[in-house]
Structure 1
Amino acid sequence: MEYWTIGYGVQQRFGHNCRECHMPIEKGDKVVYRDGRRIRLFYHNECFSGTADPRTQSGSSYNEGRMPKSCFSSKAPPTKYKIR
């Protein structure tokens, strides 16, 4: 299983903002979400661009240069779960 997985659905409750446009996601809106190991990122269908990895999203801090590249890993971990 890859670290980031993508899902599609309809928003069931209030309280989430789109990670791309930062506008609220209303109940009943169609959404795309990325699941990581500990977080879930929500996007409006029309705002989502890229693949499972959030660094491929056009408005991500990785692509906009808001932070130095040394703040980011070159790739996601190989699996969602800790290997012990």
Structure 2
Amino acid sequence: MSKFTIELWVNNCFGVLNRITGLYARRCYNIESINAGPTEIPGVTHIEIVSTGDDYMRTQVVAQLEKLYDVRKVEITKEDRS
């Protein structure tokens, strides 16, 4: 199991955070921390989610996040093998 950080850029609209966290909950994935804030682009929010999981979980959560309507961009930024 390794710890990794996913960065998301999403449309700032009602319910988007609920849909993202619901995706994690439905698949029984754990969120260790979550941070959200505005960007320089009006109407766009930057979200960082720290999770733990294996390679399969990491690829699945990125693929599923990319399918959400209000998600503009998804990146894995940090990995910590422990």
Q: TM-score if structure 2 supplies the norm length?
A: 0.26
Q: Indicate the structure whose relative CO is greater, using CA pairs within 8 Å and at least 6 residues apart.
A: 2
Greater C-alpha radius of gyration: 1
- Flag the structure with higher strand content: 2
